[in-house]
Each structure stands twice: as C-alpha cells, then as structure tokens.
Chains A and B, each alone.
Chain A
Amino acid sequence: MKMVKRKFLLKAQALRTEEVPRAHLPAFQSAQNAPADLGASEMRYRRLFETARDGVLLLNPDTRKITDVNPFMTQFLGYTHAEFVGKELWEIGLAEDRADSRKMFRALRRTHFVRYENLPLVSSTGQARPVEVVANLYEENTHQVIQCNVRDIAARKRDEQALVAAKNESCRQASELQKTVTERTARLWETIAELEAFSYSISHDMRAPLRAMRGFAEILLEEHSAQLDLKALNYLEKIAAGAAHLDSLIMEVLTYTHVLNAEVKLEAIDLNVLVPQVIKTYPELQNDNVEIQIEGPLPKVLGGGASVAQCVSSLLTNAVKFVPPKTKARVKIRAEAVETDIRLWVEDNGVGIAPQDQSRIFKMFERVGRAATYEGFGMGLTIARKAVERMGGQIGVESTVGQGSKFWIQLKEATL
C-alpha cells in the first residue's frame, strides 16, 4: 500500500503534460513496473487527476509546500508545474500570509478537513481568481499528505452578482412603480374630488335657471292661459317640457358621477323589502296601465342598499317605458340562483331590443334606434351597469324584437 502511494506521487512528477490525451494512456500504463491490475487502477485515478476540470494540489504538511498540481491548476493560475512545486499556499493567495498558512495547517492536522467557500487565488499575472477550496489531510502510513481540491467559482460568482444586481434592479423598479402608483392615485383622488365639487356646483347652479324656465312657463300656463292663444300655450308647453328634460338629464349625470365615486359598503339586502319599496317610490310604476308581478319570495343579495335600489329602479322604469301603444305594461320580477350568485330578472312585454343594440344600451349617452321610440333610454342602464360593477356584479339582457325584454342583474347571494 505504501509502495503504491509513493509511486503515485513519483509518477505524478513524471507525467508533466498540459493534457493527457486518451491515446497516451496505454503507453503510460506499459511504462510502469507495477502489477497490471494496480497499474490500471493507478492509471484510472491518474487520469482523473490529469483531466479534472477542478484544480488539485498536493502538499507536504511538514514543509507546507506544494508537491504536485494537476494541469487544470497550471492553466488556471498560469504557473508551470515546475513553478508550482515548492510554492507555499500564501504565495498563490490560498492563505493570506505565512502565519495564516501555518494556522490552516494546524487546523488540518487537528480536524483533517478545512473548507473555504470563497477565496481569491492570485494568478501569475496578479489576477484574482475566486475559488472554493476543500483541503483534506490523509494518513499515508508513516506520513501525511494534504490534498486541496480547488473549484473555479468565477462563473458562479458572476451569476450570483448578476442575480443580486437583477434583484436590486427589480426592487428599485418595484419601488419606482410603487411611487408612480402612489403619485397617480393621489392625482386621481384630486381629480375625483374636483369632479365631485363640479357635480355639486352643477346641481345647484345649472338647475336654478332651469327651475326658472320651467316654473315661469308653468305659471304662465296655469294663471295666464286666458290671455294667450293656443300657439303661445303650445310654445310654453314646449319650453316647460324642454326644461324638464334637461333637468332630468342633469340629475342623471349627477347620479352617474355619484355612483362612480361613492363608497359602496356591501351588506345583505333583502329584495323582498327593497323591490316593493322601489315600486312605491316611483309613480310611473303604480300607474293603472302597469302591472308588476313579483314571483316571490325573493332572496337576499350582497350589495349597497342605494346601489341595488338604483339598479332595480332603472330596470323597472325601463320595463314600463317601452310598451307598444295602448298596451298594458306587464312586468315580472323573479330571482334565479346562479352558482353562489343571485340573478334578478325583470321581464317586460315591451317592444324588445334588436340584437345589435343589446350591448349599446348599457353605454353612456347612446340612444338606440329613433329617439322618439326610445326616449329617455339614455343613462338609466348606464348608471345601473356602473352601480352593479361597483358591487362586483353583472348586468345583461335577453330580448327579441316584438316579444319584450328580460333584463337581469347578478349579485352575490347574502348567506347570513
């Protein structure tokens, strides 16, 4: 055993080539006097030593000098094999100085193992070569030998640094994004506040002259009709109607901005209570020409009270508005469970909506078909759509021209 190891070291000296091509190996095998099986084994390990893509250093623990290095090491640090042999570890950066080197050897004698995660070796041209080093002290019968395995970690360190840089960059971008979002949100809130102030101002300032137009026209119609001819009365009626229409448009825009901005607190809304309340509030829903049937009992939904009422009133007032002339408006209200949602249907016997118009009716200010037919369709459904969206729900319609429309809103069912 002792013989073999010593030979191994000697052979290591003998075989000084940058590389050991496979073709050379049989010659190497035949050149030794050792038994064939030992020779084969030694050659196998020698091949590992010679071709390894990691550095291997052999050291004498007594002299602390390098006794052998593999080709990778010579390439890696740019010293020839001859230059390597006899050097101490601190000379190639593996230890800081002579004292550090001694310390390392003492540690090796004690624990037989030392590992460095990240050391800067120094090449012949003075360049730093980051490595990971594992040093083992082996007993070889009467003496000891130290083997250092040296791994080039430059690529790994580059990757690590790139990773850290990328991480820093992504952190920087995230914080920049956060800043942008914060700034824009602040600006948005400012705009919303301005919009609200604007709405408030509109509600007061624009409605006042309209009240004047409508009010004086009505007083003229009621109290001074004897002094006016039919033409004049007709004009006055048109003035009053125009002012009333503009006023309702302003109110709709105000309602829309309010629905857009108001905070919606979701709570359980009992449709059995809310739907009849809405019907009671609107005179046009209690007309003799209107029949509203509730297929009850209705469930509870999750929504904001005012928002749900807004949607229901929009659907109901629409449902009774577009009936063919001389027809009694018949409206059916029913609820349907759709998974964990409730779909509230409002079905009418109105004129119906053509397929190409069915998505447009939910869009602001779009009037479907001839204005006279669909007068006032305007914003009610737009407001309802926005209100439903703000509660996380949906709105839709199924309709066939001449066979009425089935509008629906869908909200989460309140389980409490």
Chain B
Amino acid sequence: MNAPILLVEDEANDVFFMKHAFKLAGILNPMQVAQDGQEAMDFLAGDGGFADRNRFPLPSLVLLDLKLPRVMGLDVLQWMRGQAELRTVIVIVLTSSGLGPDIDRAYELGANAYLVKPSSHDDLREIAIQIKQFWLELNRSPAVRLKFASLMANGA
C-alpha cells in the first residue's frame, strides 16, 4: 500500500478540492488531513490519538498550508526539520501567499517545494497531476527508501 499523504489544511472547502483534484489526477495514496499545525505535529510525532503507526503511518509527502490555527505552517516545518525521523520527509508548501519573504523563509527552513493555491479548480487539478508525476513517480524520496529498508529488515 502507498504511504499516505498528509494534507495540513484548515479550510474545509480546500480539503475537498484537494481530495477531488487528487482523485481526478489518479493519486491512489490515502490522504490524511490535519486541520491545524498542532494536529499536524501530533500526527507526525505519533502523539495522542495518532500513536498507532499501523493505522497512522508516517507520510511520504506533506502538503503544508502556512496560515493555520494554533501552530503556523512555518513553525511546523521548522519543528519537523529538527526531528531525526521527519527531517527528510518531503514537504510541499501549498498556500495562498505568494509573498517573497514567505517563500524565502520556507526554503530556508527546508521546504522541498512552494506552490501557490490557484483559484481555479482546473489549475489545482493540473497541480495534482504534476505532484503525482514528479513527486510520487519520478522522484526518489528518502521516506520510501526507509520503508523498503524496514520491510527488508522485517523479512530477514
């Protein structure tokens, strides 16, 4: 089974659009949703209700909004890059802000990509297709490699 994608997004409509676009793009990975920064951190750390790694495995990809309740997206990113287990998880910032300082800061903190939310759903579907083709198919990600390594270790 494909590693899940974690969508960190507080707007219910945007969650719907994203799921819809991913479905149209033919992305089969299950999507987990965290509605604020704190929930994202809990999920990634396996805290609270997310302790069961079989039910809530680590995602191979995180789609991160920046303006979030409780803990802001850039703070989540900074925290992730300080965690040994999460340091190499691919993070794609997906936000409304196309402001230079946010983009610079996101890359400084170790974002792998920065995308601005399009207002058109057609454009969002195009983004989903690009994410599938590049990040999920073409790109070799460390999280996937780790998973294979652990599978082999379990098998031996």
Chain A residues within CB distance 8 Å of chain B: 200, 203-204, 207-208, 210-212, 214-216, 218-219, 243-244, 247, 258, 262, 306
Contact = CB atoms under 8 A, between A and B. Distances in A.
A181 to B, nearest CB: 27
A262 B13 CA distance: 32
A204 B96 contact: yes
B154 interface: no
Interface residues of B, number: 19
Interface in B89-110: 95-100
Nearest to B117: A211
A413 B125 CA distance: 43
Contact of B97 (A203, A215, A219): A203
A207 B99 CA distance: 14
Nearest to B95: A204
A262 B101 CA distance: 10
B20 A208 contact: no
B14 interface: yes
Given A203-B99, A207-B117, A219-B121, 8 more contacts: A203-B97, A204-B67, A204-B95, A211-B17, A211-B119, A244-B120, A258-B99, A258-B100
Interface of B: 11, 13-14, 17, 20, 67, 95-100, 117-122, 124
Contacts of B120: 214-215, 218, 244
Contacts of B20: 219
A227 B120 CA distance: 22
B119 A214 contact: yes
Contacts, number: 49
B93 to A, nearest CB: 13
Of A216, A219, A243, A258, most buried by chain B (CB within 10 Å of CB) is: A219
A215 B118 CA distance: 10
B17 A215 contact: yes
Contact of B119 (A200, A219, A244, A306): A244
A212 to B, nearest CB: 4
B119 A243 contact: yes
Contacts of A306: 100
Contacts of B96: 203-204, 207-208
Contacts of B121: 214-215, 218-219
A210 B13 CA distance: 11
Of A215, A216, A244, A306, most buried by chain B (CB within 10 Å of CB) is: A215
B119 A262 contact: no
Contacts of A211: 13-14, 17, 117-119
B5 to A, nearest CB: 19
Contacts of A208: 11, 13-14, 96
A197 to B, nearest CB: 12
B13 A200 contact: no
B67 to A, nearest CB: 4
Contacts of B98: 203
Contacts of B11: 208
Nearest to A201: B67
A203 B11 CA distance: 14
A173 to B, nearest CB: 40
Nearest to B97: A203
Nearest to B17: A215
Nearest to A207: B96
